[in-house]
Amino acid sequence: MSTADMKVYRPPVIDIIEEGDELLEVAMGPHHPSTHGVFRMDVALDGERVIRLKPVFGYLHRNHEKIAEKASYLAAMPYTDRLDYFCSLTNNWAYALAVEKLAGLEVPERAEYIRVITAELTRIQNHASSIGFLMQEMGASGTPLMYAFRERERILDLFEELTGSRMMCNYMRFGGCRVELPTGWLAKAQTIVDGLPKFIDEIEALLTGNEILMARCQGMGILKPDLAINAGVTGPMLRATGVNYDLRKVDHYGIYDRFKFRVPLGDHGDIFDRYMIRVLEMRESVTILHQAIKDIPAGPIMDPKSKIRGFRPKPGEAYGRIEAPKGELGFYLISDGSGNPYRYRVRPPSLINLTILEDMCLGHNVADVVLIFGSVDIVLGEVDR
């Protein structure tokens, strides 16, 4: 093998436009309603066609990693809630998993089941609201988003009952979970999960066959599988291009090998596929939830070896990752034997999924940039950290 014939995926360069054409440079954001927070795209337009697009971020940067390095291992747990504030429970899980790898802790069975139940509920509410936001950006003002939020509220009520907080859950601990399930919680969760297929049917009846949605989403913002792999795109974005890579199936972290579920894959890698993947993943999450709620055993929820106070893992390093709703969320930790991590790194799926934003948007109209950007599904709290 020689490196000379290796395929190189270069970031796109500006096309040379004809002499006399004038480029219009627009700063979309940071205060643009479609940017999900404070995010800027420096766009150069030829008429309405996008010639160049450079994302600019950092408006929410607070150096999460430095804060965590100055605090104890446990003190970083509530900070992880603030990364992707839609999915605090999966953030907790990814961090707990990395620390468990670093310190060699085992998680009791019941805690694993609770983690799966909370993570899949998180996935459903994240996908539902991300579809709602996508429709909002398409001009379907309000209705689909409110349908999604109605269901999300029910799930957040469950989280509140379990963890005391609706969005900033701070629930998982190294080697288990913080508190036992309240009495009757599982029955309530079962009722909500039973109602979910009806909600997904409803949202599909409303949207999937909709002509406007198909016209604006199909064939728009196409991402090729080889570029997606090379650019490290993960999550529904990657699976919409047809690459079968779901960490629940690849790593079998937690107890995911016990559940029967399918990994939906797309064909075209366009916005419509990303929408469909999210709908289908919600359906698969419902089947996982049914199995997990049925099989959950009694028992302890914390590893007896795990210490809350004076937690000092031996020197070494570990990289732990999970399939968060937005993609692969990883935590890389280096321990020097003291009470706080020597190096603490978050691998944010939202940031890395934006690498190919320019590739997807070039040549499209500026109105479609909003849609393509919305289909990536990012949260700025995680991009900027």
Partner 1 sequence: MKSTEEILAMIQAALPAAHVELVLNPSPSAQHSLRVAPADAFAVASFLRESVELALDYCSNVTGVDWPDKEITEKVKVTQLVDGEEKVVEETVKRIEPGCLEAVYHLYSMRRAHEAIAGPVVLRMRTVNRTDQVQLPSLTFVWRAAEFQEREIFDLFGIVFTGHPDLRRILMWDEFEDHPMRRDYVDPDDYEYEPTPHDEVLKRAEAQSKSAGVTA
Binding site for partner 1 (CB under 8 A): 1, 3, 6, 8-11, 57-58, 61, 63, 65-66, 101-104, 227, 229-232, 243-245, 249-252, 313-319, 321, 328, 330, 332, 334-335, 343, 345, 347, 351-352, 354-356, 384-385
CA dist 255 and 297 (Å) reads: 13
Long-range contacts of the stretch 361-367 (C-beta < 8 A, 24+): 361/50, 361/53, 361/221, 362/12, 362/50, 362/51, 362/52, 362/53, 363/49, 363/50, 364/49, 364/50, 364/220, 364/221, 365/48, 365/49, 365/50, 366/26, 366/28, 366/43, 366/45, 366/48, 366/50, 367/48
Q: Is 52 helix (H, G, I), strand (E, B) or coil?
A: strand
Cβ within 8 Å of residue 38, ≥6 positions away: 29, 30, 31, 59, 60, 380
Residue 272 C-beta: closest distance to partner 1, Å: 23
Between residues 180 and 251, which has the closer beta carbon with respect to partner 1?
251
Residue 61 C-beta: closest distance to partner 1, Å: 4
Between residues 51 and 203, which has the closer beta carbon with respect to partner 1?
51
Residue 352 C-beta: closest distance to partner 1, Å: 6
Between residues 28 and 318, which has the closer beta carbon with respect to partner 1?
318
Residue 291 C-beta: closest distance to partner 1, Å: 21
Between residues 188 and 249, which has the closer beta carbon with respect to partner 1?
249
Residue 54 C-beta: closest distance to partner 1, Å: 8
CA dist 50 and 373 (Å) reads: 13
Residue 345 C-beta: closest distance to partner 1, Å: 4
Between residues 150 and 343, which has the closer beta carbon with respect to partner 1?
343
CB 373 within 8 Å of CB 357: yes
CA dist 364 and 360 (Å) reads: 8
With CA atoms as reference, report the closest residue to 340 among 75, 107, 92. 75
Residue 318 C-beta: closest distance to partner 1, Å: 4
Between residues 8 and 187, which has the closer beta carbon with respect to partner 1?
8
Q: Is 340 helix (H, G, I), strand (E, B) or coil?
A: coil
For residue 295, CA distances in Å to 48, 113, 231, 291, 346 come to 55, 8, 38, 6, 32
Between residues 50 and 354, which has the closer beta carbon with respect to partner 1?
354
Q: Is 127 helix (H, G, I), strand (E, B) or coil?
A: helix
According to DSSP, the β-strands at 176-177 and 24-28 are: unpaired
């004038």: which residue's tokens? 22
Between residues 276 and 352, which has the closer beta carbon with respect to partner 1?
352
Residue 246 C-beta: closest distance to partner 1, Å: 9
